[in-house]
Structure 1
């Protein structure tokens, strides 16, 4: 991703659904402050305290917003997790497309350890597309996927699966005997896939957290 802080800030706003005026007010500035910074280059760079506040708000390292280089950690006590720009369909399936890493989220290290023992390199943020997992997951939700928690430890839960070039997010119910499972949708409008061979499932990772923007 480009290191131009104006481009980074504009992209973060677009991806997270934030607006320039709201960020300006958060910084105690007039509503046009961030727009002028991004579009007109005024001021030439953000003040240190403004940069720190925006970095904490978006969960990204300060270096992306014009701060000094960092060692790859978002901040002391925070663990960075890359966001992979694909959508896991909560529907009938969607082509995964080009898998590229974009700005990452940062999670509190101790809190993250309560969810998983996997290193950050085995974690990815993916966006949900579709409504077959509603109300548990909705279109536009960001899910934290543990890529290291899959076939060897498969158990009841929500997983991202790959079928050919399609990514889907579904609930798996493991049968008590044999290597069989049911692939379920939380939305009753969508059919389940009963009695599937567990060895035929191409598991990408287990969903361990979900975040959504409130309307």
Structure 2
């Protein structure tokens, strides 16, 4: 995505929104403050609507108000309070004065400081026999936003060390399936304790469970698949490049 064009588009959206329409203004600002900025098309898809849904909402006033379920979805994605995306008559009566007055005086940060973006790399780790992939060609093609407090729970490393990639193959099934998205901690490149790592084993970039073999010199790794149809093997630690430990995964239903 062209970040310069994306930011320009967000400013254009803001310019067309009436100054007193705090809900639409809050949404447009929140989208533009993502890193990289989230387009209206991307956000519409993320909430399961057609590509033009949020463009029509911001620029054509349709729908007039965002449904409550949509507000909560967007709030979770953008790291904002759903009340900032609500019009006065969309909130429960008892919540209007407190929530809207809070929004009016504290709308600039929008809670976005609580989110961090993790880049999605354009590489596939083979959960199979290995594929010839240049691990240095890790160009980020997209990013997903996660709550920082949640990221701290799954990894002690800084957010910059976290990357997302896609699994290809079935050697790690049923733990990791073909098409799964995994998050790597690239600061964790030593298998102590053992775990699932992404590594280059000399033949390709693979997802495997690895552990140190005790009392070996040179130090040796045991590289294992979860799928028993695949053979386990060993490499000396100097023969492989460990990219990072898998700390989280996601799967389509």
TM score, norm. by length of structure 1: 0.70
Any gaps of 5 or more consecutive residues in structure 2?
10-38, 81-107
1:156 to 177, 194, 198: 194
* Equivalent position of 1:75 in the other structure: 112
Q: Which has the larger radius of gyration?
A: 2
Q: Distance in 1 between matches of 2:247 and 2:192?
A: 13
Q: Secondary structure at the match of 1:105?
A: strand
Q: Which one is further off, 46-55 or 166-175?
A: 46-55
For these two proteins, the number of residue pairs brought into alignment is 184
5+ long unaligned stretches in structure 1? 25-33, 63-69
Please give the per-residue CA displacement for 1:122-159, whole angstroms capped at 9, x wherever unaligned. Answer: 110111010000000001111010000103x6431100
Counterpart in the other structure of 1:23: 48
TM-score after normalising by structure 2: 0.61
For 1:1-215, list aligned pairs within 5 A.
1-2=1-2, 3=6, 5-6=39-40, 8-9=42-43, 13=45, 23-24=48-49, 34-37=50-53, 42=56, 45=59, 53=72, 55-56=74-75, 59=77, 75-96=112-133, 98-151=137-190, 154-164=192-202, 166-178=204-216, 179-194=219-234, 196-214=235-253
CA distance in 1, matches of 2:159, 2:249: 16
Contact 2:201/2:239 (<8 A) preserved: no
185-194 or 105-114, larger mean C-alpha shift: 105-114
What CA distance in whole angstroms lies between the structure 2 residues aligned with 1:56 and 1:87?
Answer: 30
Q: Name the SS for the 2:160 alignment partner.
A: helix
